[in-house]
Structure 1
Amino acid sequence: MTARRRPPPVVAHALRRQVLGVFALVGAGLVSALLALGLGFGLSLSYYALALATYGAIGIAVFDGLRFLGGQRFGLANAVTLVRGAMVAVLAGFVVADAPALAWVAVALASIALALDGVDGWIARRQGMATAFGARFDMEIDALLIVVLAVLAALSGKAGPWILLAGLLRYLFVLAGLAVPALNAPLPPSFRRKLVCVVQILALIVILPPLLAPPVTSAIAAGALALLVYSFTVDTAWLLRHG
C-alpha cells in the first residue's frame, strides 16, 4: 500500500489564503453585528472581547485542522459552518451582557444557527465535497453552541447549574479517551445521535425566552439532558464492546 501523498506546498498555501479570506469576510460581518447589538443594548467591552475571543479560538482550530482537508478547497459548506460559528461567538458574548432583552436575540440567533446545521452537510454532499474535516467542524460548532446555550440557561435561572453538564459531556468524553483509547475509535453513523443533538439545542432555545419559567423550563432542560446522557452512554458502551 502506498502512503498518501501530501498536497504540494503551493496548494496548501492557496488553501490557507482562501480560508483566511473567508475568515476575514465572516469576521467583518461578525464585527458589524457586535457593534449593532452593542450600541443598541449599551453593552460593555467585555461583551466584544468574549465574542471576538470565541471567534478567534474557532479560527485557530480551523487553521490547525486544515491538514485534514488535503488538497481540497475549503468550500461553501465549511463557509456556512463558519458563519454558524460566528453566530455562536455572538451568543458567547451574551454570557457577560447584562441585558434581559437579549434573550429574544439569543433565541433568534440560536434558531438560525440550528436551521443552518443541516444546510452545510447538504451543500457538501451536493457538491461532492463531504470530508472528515467538515463533519468534525460541524460537530464541534454544535458542541460549542450547546455549551453557550447551557451557560445562558444557567445564568438566567431557567435551569440549575446541572444544565452545564449538557455542554461538558462532549469534552468529558474527549478527556476520557485519553485514559481509555477505545473511546477514540470512529463511531458508525447514527440518526439517533443527530436527533438527540438537535433536541438538546432546541430545548435550550425554547427555555431561554421570558415566556417560560421554572419548573417548566427545568423539566424541559432535564428531559433533553437525560436524552443526551443516554446517547453518550450508548456510544460509550458500543466503543467499549468493539474496542
Structure 2
Amino acid sequence: MRTVQREAIGWAALWGIVVLPLAATAAGGVSSLPVTAWLTAAAYLVVTTLLLMRGLRRDGAARFGPANAVTSLRSTLVGLITGLVVASFIAPVPIPLLVGLTVPALALDAVDGWVARRTRSTSELGARFDMEVDAFLLLVLSAYVARDLGLWVLTIGLLRYAFVAVGWMLPWFRARLPYRYWRKVVTAVAGIALALAAAGAPTPIAAGAVGVALALLLESFGRDTVWLVRQRAAGFSPTSGAAGEKASTRVRP
C-alpha cells in the first residue's frame, strides 16, 4: 500500500517538475506571474495528492496505474489553471497561457479513460479521481468567466457540488446512478464553452455557448434527480438493491 502511495507522490512530483517550468517559460518567466498563482497551484497539488493517497489507502489499491498517471497530469494542469484564476483577481494574467493550459486539460479527459480500458486498469477510484478533476476545472473556469458574463455562470461550477451537498443531507440521494455516457458529453461541452469564453470570444457568442452548456447540465442533473426520486418512491435505498450498490463511488456527472 505504501508503494502505491509513493507512486502517487512520484507522479505528482514528476508532473509538477515538468509542467511548472513549461508554464513559467510560456509566461515569459516566473516574474511575469503573481506569486499568488504559484502558491495556489502548489497548495492545490499538495491537497489533491493527500486526498488521492487517502483514497488509495481506503480502497486498498494494489497499483496506481497508467490511467491515474494521466489523470494526475490533468490535475497538475488544473492546479496551474486554478493558480492563474486566483491570481487574475489581483493582477492581469496571460490569457494565452490560461487557454493553453485549459485545452490540454480538457483534451486529456478522453485519454485517461481510454488508457484505463486499454490497460484493463479501470477502477471506481480512478473514475472518482477523474470526476473530481473535471468538476473542479468547471468550477474554476466558471469563476473566471463569471466576471465578464455574470454570476449566473457560477451555476455551471456549483451544480455538481450542490448535488453532493444534497446527498449529505438525504442519504437516499446517494444511490448509485445508472451509467450514462451523456454525462461525459455534457461535461465536455461545458468545459469547451467556458474555455471559449475565457479565450475572449465576443460576448454574444460566449454567453450563448455558456448558456447552452448550462442548459445541458441542468437537464442532465435534473434527469438524475428525477431518477433518484423515483427510486426513493419505489422503496430503494443507498444501502440496498441495485440502485444502492457502491453508492459511495457514484460517478456524477
Short-chain TM bin: 0.7 to 0.9
Give the equivalent residue in structure 1 for 2:79: 89
| 2:130 is the counterpart of 1:138 | yes
Residue pair 1:66, 1:133 contacting (<8 A) in 2 also: yes
Give the equivalent residue in structure 2 for 1:238: 227
Task: Report the TM-score when normalising by structure 1.
Answer: 0.88
Q: In the alignment, which of 29, 38, 41 is matched to residue 51 of structure 1?
A: 41
* Counterpart AA for 2:138: I
Residue pair 1:92, 1:148 contacting (<8 A) in 2 also: yes
* Counterpart AA for 1:187: L
* Counterpart AA for 1:80: V
Offset, 1:148? 1.2
Offset, 1:70? 2.3
Q: 1:152–1:38: structure 2 CA closer, same or farther, 3 Å change rule?
A: farther
Give the equivalent residue in structure 1 for 2:15: 26
Separation (CA, whole Å) in 1 of partners of 2:194 and 2:18: 25
**Identical residues among aligned pairs (%):** 38
Q: 1:197–1:138: structure 2 CA closer, same or farther, 3 Å change rule?
A: same
Give the equivalent residue in structure 2 for 1:8: none
Aligned residue for 1:87, secondary structure, equals helix
- 1:199-234 Cα offsets, whole Å, 9 max, x none, are 111111112223x22233112211211111111111
Give the equivalent residue in structure 2 for 1:123: 115
Separation (CA, whole Å) in 1 of partners of 2:139 and 2:51: 17
- 1:178-215 Cα offsets, whole Å, 9 max, x none, are 111111111111021111111111111112223x2223
Offset, 1:51? 1.3
Residue pair 2:145, 2:197 contacting (<8 A) in 1 also: yes
Offset, 1:167? 0.6
* Counterpart AA for 1:153: V
Q: In the alignment, which of 3, 15, 28 is matched to residue 14 of structure 1?
A: 3
- The aligned length equals 228
Separation (CA, whole Å) in 2 of partners of 1:89 and 1:122: 23
230-239 or 89-98, which deviates more: 89-98
* Counterpart AA for 1:99: P
Separation (CA, whole Å) in 1 of partners of 2:140 and 2:61: 33
Offset, 1:72? 2.2
- 1:6-57 Cα offsets, whole Å, 9 max, x none, are xxxxxx1221222222222122224323533372671111111111112222
* Counterpart AA for 1:149: L
| 2:205 is the counterpart of 1:216 | yes
Aligned residue for 1:215, secondary structure, equals helix
Separation (CA, whole Å) in 2 of partners of 1:176 and 1:25: 37
Task: Report the TM-score when normalising by structure 2.
Answer: 0.84
List gaps (5 residues or longer) in structure 1.
Answer: 1-11
Separation (CA, whole Å) in 2 of partners of 1:23 and 1:188: 32
